[in-house]
Amino acid sequence: MGAPEYWPGHESRPRVALVGAPHDALGVRGDALMDALAARCDIVPVDARASFMRTPYVLHGISRAVAQGAELLHVANARLAPAAAIASRRFRLPLSVTVSARDVQSRTLGARLARRAVRGFDCALTADECALGILRHDMPSLASSLVPAAATRLPGPNPRQTEAVSRALRGVAPSRLVLGLVWPENRNDLRWFRDAVASQLVAGPLCLVLGAPSRREARLLLHASGMKVEFRAVHGCLDGQLLAAVAPFVDAFALPAGLRRQSGHAVTALTLALAASGVPVVSDGRAEAAILSHERNGFLVARGDERHFASTLNTLLALPAQQRHAVGQDFARYTVTEWSADPAAEVYAAHFASLVGRPRIPAELRVA
């Protein structure tokens, strides 16, 4: 047997009360991270919503976690920082938080109160380099670290979202090719795809737009006069469950570069989820270049090169269904292997162990 994972004693694994849904670090869905963390720490979940009215329920949940032996509090949703700070003072437990660029840049009252509470935390973890820079500038006394990105394992589809996808594809022939198009932050990129790229698609696929903000905006941008390709839209938040519901019906995903205007954390999480979905992804975004490796877990083209974008999609859609599926599965395996959740879990576990006074021993220093 090997040396103990912690010092002293293997039985001294940190017992962490995780406050909030596990949507941190991976953004779209945190299942893979939670599984990796479970091998390194004892997690006591405290499910809670980020609402001032929910503070008593959050405190009650934390109290139950402490009764179960929790040694420290980690806040997965920064909006719950005020409630966690109250609990930390009551139970005198170490306190850490995961933050994103949106948490530290938002000007809403809830975000301002959260930032004020976070100043008293022991450490902050973030998957966004932008957030890390802001934290160090505005809160120099707060210890902060960058969590490496990781591919997400898509959950089972939500019945409500499966029904939404079925409604959007109602009347579409089973043999019809379907192209998934992610609604970009920059509306001009959607117009660019509609006007410059879609007109060159030989196969004439149905474009299924994901994450449209509203029916009115989708109708204005997609059902414009002169449209040469048929569009359908699925409204609502683009999360892991929606991607799981859409993936079985989509032959390829198109990822316009407009997503780069979102926070790096959101772009990374969404791109990794798409690349791990088992459906080939085509993108012209520079922000995704660090994640998508051309012809290994996606297809990359030059920014704004509509001819290359269209020709790549045409070649991909012309493949037999089984061959296209095999390509997507190969891409997914590469993504999950190269972007494992283990490095992210190691960062979390090291911080948790340090907060409770039992630093982890690096793998290369452990006695075999």
pLDDT tens, the chain, 368 aa long: 333 343 444 446 889 998 886 554 434 445 777 888 888 889 888 877 655 567 888 888 999 999 999 999 999 888 889 999 999 889 999 999 988 877 888 888 888 888 899 988 999 988 777 788 888 888 888 888 888 888 877 777 778 888 989 999 999 998 999 999 988 777 777 888 888 888 899 988 999 988 888 777 777 777 665 556 788 888 877 777 788 889 999 999 998 776 544 555 667 778 888 888 999 999 887 656 678 888 999 999 988 888 999 999 999 999 999 999 999 999 999 998 998 888 888 888 888 998 988 776 555 555 44
Strand, helix or coil at 75?
strand
Q: How many CB atoms lie within 10 A of CB 353?
A: 23
Q: Which residues contact 270 (CB under 8 A, 6 or more apart)?
A: 27, 28, 182, 238, 259
- pLDDT value, residue 7: 40
Instruction: Answer yes or no: are the C-beta atoms of 123 and 96 closer than 8 Å.
Output: yes
57-89 residues labelled b (16+ CB within 10 A) or e (exposed): ebbebbbebbeeebbbbbbbbbbbbbbbbebbe
Tokens of 169: 């594809």
pTM beyond 0.85, yes or no: no
Radius of gyration from C-alpha coordinates of the chain: 22
- pLDDT value, residue 30: 57
Instruction: Answer yes or no: are the C-beta atoms of 231 and 207 closer than 8 Å.
Output: yes
Q: How many CB atoms lie within 10 A of CB 269?
A: 29
Across the chain, what does the average pLDDT equal? 82
